[in-house]
Amino acid sequence: MVFSRHFSDLIVFYFQWLQSLPSFRQSFNVTFGECPYCSTPISVKTRR
């Protein structure tokens, strides 16, 4: 179970990082952003 806890912490970290990007936007349960290194679009579907 230690792995799942660390994995969950990592997911939360990346989601918070994505929210901090200037290109961040959210529509319903999908979060959008852009990679700051290569400008590739990123999207993450979230559960509510």
pLDDT of residue 16: 82
Q: How many helices (H) and strands (E) does the chain have?
A: 1, 3
Tell me how many domains the chain contains: 1
pLDDT of residue 37: 80
Q: Which residues contact residue 39 at a Cβ distance below 8 angstroms, ignoring those fewer than 6 apart?
A: none
* HEC sequence for 4-31: HHHHHHHHHHHHHHHHHCCCCEEECCEE
Tens-place pLDDT, residues 1-48:
455 667 777 777 877 887 887 888 888 888 888 877 888 888 878 776
The residue segments making up the domain with residue 23 are: 2-45
Q: How many CB atoms lie within 10 A of CB 33?
A: 20
